[in-house]
Amino acid sequence: MANVVVVGAQWGDEGKGKIVDWLSERADVIARFQGGHNAGHTLVIDGTVYKLSLLPSGILREGKLSVIGNGVVLDPWALLTEIEKIAGQGVVVGPHNLMIAENAPLILPLHGELDRARESSNAVAKIGTTGRGIGPAYEDKVGRRAIRVADLGDEATLDARIERLLTHHNALRRGLGMDEVDGLGLKAALMEVAPKILPFAAPVWKVLAEKRKAGKRILFEGAQGSLLDVDFGTYPYVTSSTTLSGMAATGTGLGPSAVGFVLGIVKAYTTRVGEGPFACELFDDVGEHLARVGHEKGTVTGRPRRCGWFDAVLVRQTCALSGVNGIALTKMDVLDGLPELKICVAYDLDGKRLDYLPTAADQQARVTPVYETIEGWSGSTAGARSWADLPAQAIKYVRRIEELIQCPVALVSTSPERDDTILVTDPFAD
């Protein structure tokens, strides 16, 4: 059976939640493989809005197993709050449909405090983080001082982990003028939350290997976007994890051969949240139109998203980096009624034409877009479920995007509703 990896191919907020939910009907297991509760997915099902951060989008489908992999940094208190919130919407979450990797590192209150202290400091440039402790938690993971899910079940190990962790953090906090963390208080908080989290803990790598051997379909759910990748994004204005498709294997414990079809989620225009370069950003009436009609505010933070024209240079680059087999083009309906559309087909850097985003930060900030202008459409794409429902010029826009990014369109999403989707190629097809 084919497995599918879903990754954002821009700066995040591309509509991955809806696409993963739509695809999860065909899957048996839905696995999150990186990020934390800094990533928000909004789903609209029969008019009801669900907002998820840590929980895989497949949790809304009955009979499916949702998995939080080892590549995720887990805030246990945020997870319990999220579970309680969607329980109020009639969604039951328990060990029968949610599993957490035993080796997933935890986000602790001290991580969020450090994150916010750094971001508010005038001594360093702002990165634009959500302040939820994602970066500091990943730092502790690679620094080999993280507390992991399995440690919650072993008090002696937990004591040693806390001691090692606070040796680092309290020295850091003293340097920042922050109060030291009380080890006993931290341990008490962890011991209190442990019995609520441990029932979900499991050797995810083993369970997924068994599911795969049994022929079950696995849907790997990425968070954020490829341009926020810690290696290939617009560094340093990036997240602290690998957001490309390769992380699906290492972030769950399955080998690369388990990764089948790679689906890149691409918005019909471009947005980003926070700081960093954005060559196609618009500051005019069109930019305002995209923000207003597209409801462009962050799911997690509520921050307004910066908006601009579709950047084919960036998407072609991210499709190559993740080995994307096909894209899901979302939010087509936001472009309805615009008399003309522009697509960035190249960059100009000091008079030199580039067909990729350069690595150097100063060059990323200086590139200007080279646009191609095409005719817009006056009809509506909202709610379309077949090619026949789309205006002819909208189809031309889709076909031109395929040519420029050198990757076919597999799905087209025409509204936030689950079923307003045009299927071109089934990613789960064998």
Residues tagged active-site: 13, 41
Calculate Rg over the CA atoms of the chain.
22
**Best CA proximity match to 102, nearest among 201, 36, 206, 233:** 201
On whether the CB atoms of residues 311 and 225 are closer than 8 A, the answer is no
* Pairing status of strand 409-413 against strand 421-423: antiparallel
**Best CA proximity match to 311, nearest among 256, 351, 350, 272:** 272
Residue 351 CB partners (closer than 8 Å, separation 6+): none
Question: Cα separation of 385 and 397, whole Å?
Answer: 17
The 10 Å Cβ neighbour count of residue 286 is 18
Question: Cα separation of 111 and 137, whole Å?
Answer: 6
DSSP track, 24-92: HTT-SEEEE-SB-TT--EEEEETTEEEEESSS-GGGGSTT-EEEE-TTB-B-HHHHHHHHHHHHTTT--
Which sign does the torsion angle of CA 254, 256, 262, 264 carry? positive
On whether the CB atoms of residues 53 and 37 are closer than 8 A, the answer is yes
Q: How far, in whole angstroms, is CA 127 from its chain's centroid?
A: 17
At 69, list the tokens: 């992999």
**Best CA proximity match to 106, nearest among 76, 83, 82, 144:** 76
**Best CA proximity match to 34, nearest among 236, 274, 240:** 240
On whether the CB atoms of residues 424 and 402 are closer than 8 A, the answer is no
Question: Cα separation of 291 and 174, whole Å?
Answer: 42
Question: Cα separation of 414 and 19, whole Å?
Answer: 11
On whether the CB atoms of residues 17 and 44 are closer than 8 A, the answer is no
At 240, list the tokens: 């602290």
Instruction: Report whether the peptide linkage leading into residue 76 is cis, meaning its omega lies within 30 degrees of zero.
Output: no
330, amino acid identity = T
At 68, list the tokens: 């939080």
